[in-house]
Amino acid sequence: MESYDLMIIGAGAAGLTAGIYASRAKLDTVIINEGVVGGQMVLTEEVANYPGVEPVKGYTLAATMKQQAKSFGCKIRSNVKIADYELEGEIKKVTLEDGRSFQAKAVILSPGGRPRSLNIPGEDLFRGTGISYCATCDGDFFTGKDVVVVGGGNSALEEAVALTQFATKVTIVHQFDHFQAFEHAINEAQSNPKIEFIMESELREFSGNGVLQSVAVEHLPSGNRTTLETDGVFIFIGYLPNTESIKEIVPLNERNEIIVDTDMRTSVPGVFAAGDCIPKKYRQVTTAVADGTIAALSAAEFLRNGATTS
């Protein structure tokens, strides 16, 4: 059993930031991460809008955050699988599949999330080389090019409009004959001369030579398929928080996001949450960093007010 002041579950931007703040505050801290350190940052070709930082590869920024956390004394246990959580009570415990266990008086849950995928051929191959899930992150890389936006909700239409600042043409492909967005978002997209629409249709395959060059589009009522040449595809069909393993442990909302207050506290004493696993409109590295900061400071306050490692 390894004992710490604070356990952080997840090593994305939120978790690493929490680790930096907590360790610098002299809390004995461990980050337990089931995948590769960095979360969604690692999948980002380039981060160009992080304040005060020149454009940088996502995995480079993640590595820098990791090293910064470690420099303050934060321990990181990555590429492990958590088998069991015991977060009720004064002492919080986590057990790994390999039998190792950890305990602390406070926990920050930052398992992150992932964009909902189309799960069609070529998506994994061209992710990061033509396929994106974030217009704010990658829009300027498609300046003067033609792009496709997949989706029909508020995010899809709003991001399509935002992409017209960069792209020559934006084609929205949506599976229904109507949109599931607010009227103002629909009107703004429909009145934009750079935006075209392909309704009642779905993408079936991504193709290209090294980079994305075209997509196969199926018209659902007829079953007819056409090839649409494009320089990039932005997918906005929803977001999935990585909360499957903790859904019985902390309260979640209808979207399976962890419910927190403004101090990132859950309803379970000593348990906090941060990052893409909590309800939020914007999912950026900067917003995750802010969440991690607040969660770490709140956890430190919780520990100062009477919770101590046994």
pTM check: above 0.95: no
Q: Is residue 138 among the annotated active site residues?
A: yes
> Which domain covers residue 7, as residue numbers?
2-114+239-304
Predicted local distance difference test score (pLDDT) of residue 198? 98
- Give, rounded to a whole angstrom, the gap between the first and last alpha carbons of the chain: 12
Angle at 114 between CA 108 and CA 116, to 5 degrees: 145
In a domain, 309, yes or no: no
Closest of 88, 78, 83, 67 to residue 20, by C-alpha = 67
Catalytic, out of 5, 28, 124, 134? 134
Q: Are residues 64 and 156 in the same domain?
A: no
CA distance 6 to 1: 14
Q: How far is CA 303 from the centre of its chain?
A: 28
Q: What is the distance, to the nearest Å, from the Cα of residue 138 to the centroid of all Cα atoms in its chain?
A: 14
Give me the amino acid identity at 166: F
Task: Tally Cβ neighbours within 10 Å of residue 302.
Answer: 19
Q: Are residues 203 and 158 in the same domain?
A: yes
Q: What CATH number has the domain bearing residue 250?
A: 3.50.50.60
DSSP category for residue 258: B
Which residues have C-beta within 8 Å of that of residue 179, sequence separation ≥ 6?
Answer: 152, 153, 157, 185, 186
Where do the H-state alpha helices sit in 99-234?
A: 123-126, 135-138, 154-163, 183-190
Give the residues across from 272 on adjacent strands: 108, 265
The pLDDT of residue 228 is: 97
How many domains is the chain built from? Answer: 2
Q: Decide: 295 and 276 in contact? Cβ < 8 Å.
A: no
Last residue of a domain, one of 211, 235, 259: 235
Statement to judge: residues 71 and 126 lie in one domain? no
**154 and 221 assigned to the same domain:** yes
Question: Can you tell me the distance from the alpha carbon of 60 to that of 62, in angstroms, rounded to the nearest whole number?
Answer: 5
pLDDT for residue 281: 83
Beta-carbon contacts of 135 under 8 Å, excluding residues fewer than 6 positions away, are: 159, 160, 162, 163, 234
Which residues of the chain fall short of a pLDDT of 70? Answer: 45, 307-310
- The Cα 251–Cα 265 span in angstroms is 11
134 a catalytic residue: yes
- Tell me the C-alpha distance between 141 and 240, whole Å: 25
139 and 201 co-located in one domain: yes
- Active-site residue, from 137, 231, 277, 291: 137
| The domain boundary residue, chosen from 235, 255, 281 | 235
d(CA 82, CA 245): 9
Would residue 261 show up in a list of annotated catalytic residues for this protein? no
In this structure, are strands 271-273 and 195-198 parallel, antiparallel, or unpaired?
A: unpaired
* Catalytic position from the list 5, 74, 138, 291: 138
